[in-house]
Amino acid sequence: MSTASPKLHVLPSPEALYKESAARVLSLGQQAIAERGSFHMALAGGSTPRALYKLLARNAAQLDWSRVQLYFGDERCVPPDHPDSNYRMVREALLDRLYTQPVVHRMAGEKAPAEAAADYTEILRRNLPADGLDLALLGLGGDGHIASLFPGSATLDDRKHSVLADFIISMNSWRLTLTLPVFDQARQLMLLVSGASKAHVIEQVFNGHASSRLPVQRLHPRGALEWFIDDAAAALIPQPE
Ligand code: 6PG
């Protein structure tokens, strides 16, 4: 886990989690643009962040989106209009609701996985600042996976590549994912976890029960790591005073 101690925000409801995390994203974006002229953010996929993206769109006026560059932490190897596409989820929840469009670096889920991974490696090389992402948003799977870095996968030990394609046996599908070095290099990581179905994995992470380190515990970010967890997901861990 992180060298700097992770900050834990336990929120009383999913709505409070989205409100708090949206405010954090917007303030990090304002700070990055003020200090460096741009804001490079990797988006999480899955279902948890959808409500956050809608809230960011509702509060879009608080950020100069013309200076924002959006990346994807991972993508399913499907076309961009497929129901499982993370890009489609982001387009519907955020991009279609923005008046000013950010630069969007989409992972080409429609291409052959290895080709799409190579393409995205080049996209990162050409567009990411030398010191990496300003912010990476991550969700957490019930098995402790982050992005598409799944337990037992060789992708967790790869320190050479920034983007990999991986066949996920448990899902019988190909995925594209940023690797741990990219997430670790980010100035800031935000993990968003909501719902009772995540209570056990949160307990494993925070009570150190994990016999083998979960993918999320393989993170060693150079920057700050903040957890935004709602009360249902935090039900099995001691609540901060
Ligand atoms: C994806 C995500 C993945 C997700 C977790 C949690 O493409 O599915 O990147 O890592 O964050 O699986 O998913 P939920 O938010 O749907 O619970």
Cα torsion 225, 228, 232, 237: sign: positive
Could you count the other beta carbons within 10 Å of the beta carbon of residue 236? 16
Q: What is the model's pTM?
A: 0.96
Is the CB–ligand 1 distance for residue 75 below 6 Å? no
Could you count the other beta carbons within 10 Å of the beta carbon of residue 222? 14
**CA–CA gap between residue 177 and residue 110 (Å, rounded):** 14
Alpha-carbon separation of residue 172 from 96, 112, 166, 169, 213 (angstroms): 31, 16, 11, 5, 23
Could you count the other beta carbons within 10 Å of the beta carbon of residue 106? 19
Nearest to 184 by CA among 140, 152, 215: 215
Pocket mutation for ligand 1, best pick of 17, 53, 74, 153 (most atoms within 8 Å of C-beta): 74
Pocket mutation for ligand 1, best pick of 84, 86, 138, 140 (most atoms within 8 Å of C-beta): 140
Q: What is the pLDDT of residues 181-219, one digit of tens each?
A: 999 999 999 999 999 999 999 999 998 665 568 999 999
pLDDT of 241: 67
**CA–CA gap between residue 199 and residue 205 (Å, rounded):** 10
Is the CB–ligand 1 distance for residue 6 below 6 Å? no
Q: For residue 115, give the amino acid letter.
A: E
- Determine the atom of ligand 1 nearest the C-alpha atom of 47: 16
Is the CB–ligand 1 distance for residue 47 below 6 Å? yes
Note whether 109 and 79 are within 8 A (CB): yes
**CA–CA gap between residue 136 and residue 35 (Å, rounded):** 18
| Residue 73: HSE in the Cβ half-sphere, 13 Å Cα cutoff | 28
- Determine the atom of ligand 1 nearest the C-alpha atom of 175: 7
Q: What does each of the 241 residues of the chain score in pLDDT, given as a tens digit?
A: 444 678 999 999 999 999 999 999 999 999 999 999 999 999 999 999 999 999 999 999 999 999 999 999 999 999 999 999 999 999 999 999 999 999 999 999 999 999 999 999 999 999 999 999 999 999 999 999 999 999 999 999 999 999 999 999 999 999 999 999 999 999 999 999 999 999 999 999 998 665 568 999 999 999 999 999 999 999 999 876 6
Q: What is the pLDDT of residues 71-96, one digit of tens each?
A: 999 999 999 999 999 999 999 999 99
Collapsing DSSP to helix, strand or coil, 189 comes out as: strand
Q: For residue 191, give the amino acid letter.
A: L
pLDDT of 5: 76
Nearest to 91 by CA among 123, 50, 137: 50
Q: In angstroms, what is the span from residue 146 Cα to ligand 1's centroid?
A: 7
b/e per residue, 177-199, with b = 16+ CB within 10 A? bbbbebbbbbbbbbbbbbeeebb
